[in-house]
Chain A
Amino acid sequence: MSLVAIKSAIDALSAPTISFTVLTVLFPFFFPPSDWFEKIHRKLGFWRLWTKAGGITGLVLITAFFVIGYYDKNFNITLTKPDNFPIVLMIYSMFFFIWLAMYKAYRNDIRIDQGLKPEEYNDPDDKVLVWPDLVYIEFIALILFQVFLIVWSILVAAPIEEPANPAATPNPSKAPWYFLGLQEMLVYYDPWIAGVLLPTMIIVGCMAIPYMDINKKGDGYYSFKERRVGIFIFMYGWVVLWLFLIVIGTFFRGPNWNFFGPFEYWDLHKVEALTNVNLSELLWVKLLNQGLPSNILIRESVGFLSVGFYLFILPVILAKTVLKDMYEAYGPTRYTSLMVFGLVMLALPIKMYLRWMINLKYIIAIPEWFFNI
């Protein structure tokens, strides 16, 4: 296959519909939350990623992608933009630290399987001295990091653009990298939800994790098996729903926030049809061939029912059936909190798929009250 063909394939595969799906589907096979997944994880040999060889392979693949991408005319522009250098660093560092943690976790898991204590068990019990053991290391790290920053500032000029002109908006107008995940969410959700509600839930949720967690194992030492559900859920939210959206926002979103493959030219005039419909329109207009009812509550009744079911009735059903053990173990408070945070988090990929598959715009659409979900 020629390089051009490979690039076109990568372009096609990076479309969010495909790449996000692939990631979501493959994710539990990398961080298996249950035995069934674990079996396939072992069978397909994914566990090898968490070995030294796997780590090196991963780093090499990432580097190879960037090197090949550097020589592509279009990807080069995005890659060498001074603003995007931290994202490249982020990809490397995130991969490395996740790999390191899982590597250590797997080593410990092997030892635990063998009935041994985890490696951290042999760490000294007593305290270590702040000086030199803590601070000396930090100091050396500080100096090296300072050198890194100095060299970076000498080699790369600050990306200053023209004076801000209220009449000329840059296109694309991208948020800083730490908000790119949110900007991507804005494609699927109303600004109130994507910009206020979801970030609040993320922050509050992160704060609440220690209080919801009742698993006493895996405390003070790395372990995957002993905390696999929690790790899986967190990793999914972290890597797929946050980091990956940042990567999409950096490399795959171009002018007019259109999607462009990494090797695709950012054509300002590219036009994509955006023909999204609200759930109420789907029901009343398309399905029932009527006009929209004038009463808002009737109009959005399907939406209210679905959301109501999803948030309030589904947890109850689950508590009584599939998650019965969990409900008993966690207790009602913890269970409810977990459900709230978990269901809201899951709402993001669900909405994304509803958008992609049936062009759904809003489940509940009440622009009169600025309330859209």
Chain B
Amino acid sequence: MFKNDERYWDINLLNKWFAISSLVFLLSMIWTFIDDNDDEFKDYQKKFRQLQIKATEKNLGQELDEVKDVREKYDKEFAKAQSDYDNQSDQVKSINDELGKFRADFYKINLNYSEKKAKLDVIKFHLESENAHHLEGEIAQDSHHGAETKEKYKIKTEELYKVKLDKENLEIEIAKRERILKDLKTTLKEVQDTRDKILKKVNIAENKLNVLDRSKMSFMNKIGDIVRDLPILDFMDPYYKVKQTVVKDIHYDVNFTAMPAVDRCTSCHLGITDPDFADAEQPFTTHPNLDLYLTSKSPHPEESFGCTSCHAGRSRGTSFVSSSHTPNTPEQKHEWEEKYSWKKIHHWLQPMLPTRYTQASCFKCHTNTSDLAGAEKINLGLTLVDRSGCNGCHVSSNWPSTAKSGPDLRKLNEKSHPDWVAKWIQNPRDFRYNTRMPHIFEQANQENPKIAKRNITEIASITHYLFKDKITRKNNNPSKYLGNPANGEKLFSAVGCMGCHVSEQDPSMAPQPITFKELTKLQGPNLIGMGSKVTPEWLFNWVKNPHEYMSTTRMPNLRLSDSEAKDLTAYLYDNKNYDFDQKRVPEVDKTVLNELTLDWLMKMNPEKYAIEKASKMTEREKMSFVGEKSIRHYGCFGCHNIDGFMDAKPIGVEITYEGSKPVDKFDFGLMHDIEHTNYAWIENKLRTPRIYDRGKESNPLDLLKMPNFHFTEEEIEAVTTAVLAFNTDKVGETLLAHKNAPDYNKEGHRLVKKYNCQGCHLIENRGGQLVEHIGAPEYGPPNLNTQGRKTNPNWLIKFFNNPMTIRPNLQVRMPSFHQISDKEWDTIIKYFQSIDNENTGYRAPHQFVTGSRKFKAGEKVHELGACNNCHFYGKTFPIQTASTWAANLALTKERLNPEWVVDWMREPQNIMPGTKMPAPYLPTPDVLETDDAVAIWGKDLVKLKGDQEAMLEGLRDYMWNIKGKVDISEEIKAYFDENGYDFSEGEDDDEDDWDEEDW
């Protein structure tokens, strides 16, 4: 066509290039297809398929083993039934032939019938029209017309009837034969069904294996199995595909809208809900604790919660790196970098939480509790946030504090001495090694000698301010308040102080605040060194009535007598901290004071005016000025009530949404070797709060101020979990937990925790460390199991406001919580009731008839039970010694719920395991049927014929009838004042006297 010389370019060369470029293009297209379809998750799914095959084969093997023995029998039966059926094949065939013929006949006759009926209907119409005309008088009655039609109608009707009968006969024949066939088949089917039922599990496993294992598939299925996953064709029904859960109630916020989370984690984590893979390697491992997570019967089913609601990460990712997995340790990071070429994806704002912080996600649904079962780490974190008083500086609106976490300093002059206070502020742990008060001074960014000097003057000024215009109590007449320290020590151990306090000198023996129980021991401070800190007068007044000094204290009133209070004071006052006493008191340096004064003045005034103002101030005025400024600067009022700072605002950053703060908004300062994540920042901040000042040239007043709480590593991890939990994640209303729990339940729970009820009592099976300290549950604070149902609410609130002695031989006493308002008591009582699903607000006095059979039978049971061995009856003391004394039965009618009493007496151990109360003896029917039954048991008891419920109710009614003094606290007190609490454990010991011969 075109000769080469007519062209501008050499066409052969062009052709060559065209060929090459087309080939290269083809290869690149093939590469495109391969790259598109070569997904990482498919590799994992292929591997998992192999694992599944192995697991299914194992299952199949197990199932086959199980049915091995019976299988033969059913197989034989089936074979027989099948052969029976086959043997009847001739019969079946002939029946089928007949059926065919009958059916054909029926078809024909049916057609015939339809035709005839249609024609009959026409005739009927004509007839009825004529009848109508007759009626209307249009045609004469005896007209010719009418008779013909009528006759025709009659004849045709009869004909039709005949055909109908024939038709019905045919139907009968057909039905008969069909039934025969059916019966033949039924027998076979029944045998088959029985066999299948036995083999059901085997069949399931086998079917599963056929779908999974290519080698077990038929040829066509195998082809299909390959074709279904080919590129482009895999739009129809691929085996290897992305598996996702659309979680409609949890949204991912993309700033201008919110998308439901689409979790594709299960594309690789294929064994996550299958318990068979508990030992498989990642990513196929089963999720731990399937009873709690992921399965449909668990409270967190996968369809409703997905995966990222707890673990965060990039939900739509389908490869290891793009899902934003976060390594939990540096070793794991290294391993991932090698194995998976892992790197952090910087643009995903919510990277996966490292596994150690997963519990941070519990908070977004379980918003109102720090006692979530199974979430110990965040429980500890939130508790520490409350205890350490984080809210005092860092407001967190989703976990607000109810009160300031430190003591009220407005009357400090009554309690302590300025020298002690100054040394304490300087370094609290020099005095008390496990105090909650953090260290504001002597921190890493205050090591510069100039700064250190300033700090000393600041401390002295702060102390001066705290005691300003207040009279320091002198140590007048200490012996007036000091009693016997040895008695005091005993009291401290016995009367209930140790429900909230320890007095432990040795740090290695102190409770570690990382479990719930240990934390209850640290509700109040460690009471060492009191002799160096307070005056005996203050200590005496405090233990007598704490609320006089500090109305918001959580410490209750132990209703101590004066001598008890004096003994306790002496015991505590005996403990002095000599090293601390020898420490040098921080004192004001005049030059530094002046410098500080000027610095503060220059914040609001030009230097000239500042100097002028300062020159007019006396030293004391300067100290007050600097003291006030320093308190405001360091934010002491965040934890303490201080005069002049009652309305001051917290000085720290609000942490309500700290967990969602983008990582580039965290100020790492000049620290470039800390991992660039939010949790690493928080961890390091908690460990060394001033760390981000390192290397900076800051003015003294611009230095970081967060004090050092000396958290242990576990505490740091827990608090970091809590801070990460404070975030903007929202879940749909339907997923929020405890929505059905009434508010007073949550409120009551928090009150119980605030006042440390569980330091003494077991409530909802948690707490009760004081009982362990005392050693025997019957001499310790009672287990409050079923308390809500047990006591009358109106009696209970009276009791709370003025506790009386219930269990006579307990030395430990229920303290008076005068600071708890009626409303709060009401909440607590309702909380206890709701635990027991008890709704009664008021209970009428229980009615019973004293002359009834039940009552009299109960009286007999009471006599048999010899209740007065242990129980008080008003002022009447029990027969046995103090070690077995039990409650005053005259109190019962006021105090207890009659229905509960029946349950209690039926089996006390169910309600209070370890109680000394035995179940009362109730005679069984056989015993009541003997000849002398009436004589032994009394006729009323016999007449009940062993009805347990009636006997218990009768006993209960009898108890309700017991009269006597209700509140016997005075009598008990008088007894123990005289006899002391050192009663031996049982008189039975007397009977174990060594026999002389046994020597």
Report which A residues bind B (CB closer than 8 A).
124, 128-129, 132-133, 136-137, 139-140, 143-144, 146-147, 150-151, 154, 160-166, 168
Contact = CB atoms under 8 A, between A and B. Distances in A.
B255 A164 contact: yes
Nearest to A131: B2
Contact of B21 (A133, A140, A160, A168): A140
Decide if the interface of chain B is mainly helix, strand, loop or mixed: helix
A168 B662 contact: yes
A179 B347 CA distance: 24
A136 B22 contact: no
A147 B24 contact: yes
Nearest to B29: A150
A140 B348 CA distance: 41
Contacts of B348: 162
B52 to A, nearest CB: 32
Given A143-B25, A150-B31, A128 B8 contact: yes
A37 B25 CA distance: 49
B25 A146 contact: yes
Contacts of B236: none
Contacts of B18: 136, 139-140, 143
B255 A163 contact: yes
Given A160-B347, A162-B348, A147 B25 contact: yes
A128 B35 CA distance: 42
B35 A154 contact: yes
A74 to B, nearest CB: 14
A151 B35 CA distance: 11
B255 A129 contact: no
Given A136-B18, A143-B22, 20 more contacts: A124-B8, A129-B2, A129-B6, A132-B2, A132-B11, A132-B14, A136-B14, A137-B9, A140-B17, A143-B24, A146-B25, A147-B24, A150-B32, A151-B28, A151-B31, A154-B32, A163-B254, A163-B255, A164-B255, A165-B255
Nearest to A153: B32
Interface in B1-54: 2, 6-9, 11, 14, 17-18, 21-22, 24-25, 28-29, 31-32, 35
Interface residues of B, number: 26
A144 B21 CA distance: 6
B869 to A, nearest CB: 76
28 contacts: A128-B7, A129-B7, A129-B8, A132-B7, A133-B8, A133-B9, A136-B14, A136-B18, A140-B14, A140-B18, A140-B21, A143-B22, A143-B25, A147-B21, A147-B24, A147-B25, A150-B29, A151-B28, A154-B31, A154-B32, A161-B347, A162-B348, A162-B349, A163-B254, A163-B255, A163-B349, A166-B255, A168-B662
A155 to B, nearest CB: 9
A78 to B, nearest CB: 15
Nearest to B322: A157
A81 to B, nearest CB: 12
Contacts of A151: 28, 31
Contacts of A143: 18, 21-22, 24-25
List the 6 closest pairs (A to B, CB-CB), nearest first: A163-B254, A162-B347, A143-B21, A133-B8, A128-B8, A150-B28
Nearest to B252: A163
A321 B1 CA distance: 65
B581 to A, nearest CB: 48
Contacts of A166: 255
Interface SS of chain A? helix
A133 B7 contact: yes
Interface of B: 2, 6-9, 11, 14, 17-18, 21-22, 24-25, 28-29, 31-32, 35, 254-256, 347-349, 662, 664
Nearest to A141: B21
A129 to B, nearest CB: 7
Contacts of B24: 143-144, 147
A160 B314 CA distance: 14
A151 B7 CA distance: 33
A43 to B, nearest CB: 41
Contacts of A147: 21, 24-25, 28
A108 B22 CA distance: 36
Nearest to A149: B28
A128 B2 CA distance: 12
A163 B28 CA distance: 32
A146 B24 CA distance: 10
A73 B283 CA distance: 34
A18 to B, nearest CB: 29
Contacts of A165: 255
Question: Which of B18, B21, B29 has the most CB atoms of chain A within a 10 A radius of its CB?
Answer: B21
B729 to A, nearest CB: 15
Contacts of B7: 128-129, 132-133
A140 B10 CA distance: 14
Contacts of A137: 9, 14
A129 B28 CA distance: 31
A133 B13 CA distance: 12
B734 to A, nearest CB: 26
A142 to B, nearest CB: 9
A166 B256 CA distance: 9
Contacts of A164: 255-256
A225 to B, nearest CB: 28
A138 B35 CA distance: 28
A128 B9 CA distance: 10
Contacts of A144: 21, 24
A154 B635 CA distance: 58
Nearest to A128: B8
A132 B2 CA distance: 9
A138 to B, nearest CB: 11
A226 to B, nearest CB: 26
A144 to B, nearest CB: 5
A143 B28 CA distance: 11
A245 to B, nearest CB: 28
Nearest to A127: B8
Nearest to A163: B254
The residue in A124, A140, A146, A160 that gathers the most chain B C-beta atoms within 10 A of its C-beta is: A140
Contacts of B35: 154
Contacts of A161: 347
A147 B31 CA distance: 11
B642 to A, nearest CB: 37
Contacts of B14: 132, 136-137, 140
Contacts of B17: 140
Contacts of B29: 150
A161 B349 CA distance: 10
A154 B32 CA distance: 7
Contacts of A140: 14, 17-18, 21
Contacts of A168: 662, 664
Nearest to B31: A154
B337 to A, nearest CB: 17
A136 to B, nearest CB: 5
A162 B31 CA distance: 29
Nearest to B348: A162
A208 to B, nearest CB: 34
Contacts of B22: 143
Nearest to B19: A140
Contacts of B31: 150-151, 154
A144 B35 CA distance: 20
Nearest to B34: A154
A165 B660 CA distance: 13
A232 B254 CA distance: 51
A129 B662 CA distance: 62
B315 to A, nearest CB: 14
A80 to B, nearest CB: 13
A101 B664 CA distance: 48
A150 B11 CA distance: 27
Instruction: Name the residue in A144, A147, A161, A166 with the highest tally of chain B Cβ atoms < 10 Å from its Cβ.
Output: A147
A128 B25 CA distance: 28
Contacts of B9: 132-133, 136-137
Contacts of A162: 347-349
Contacts of A160: 347
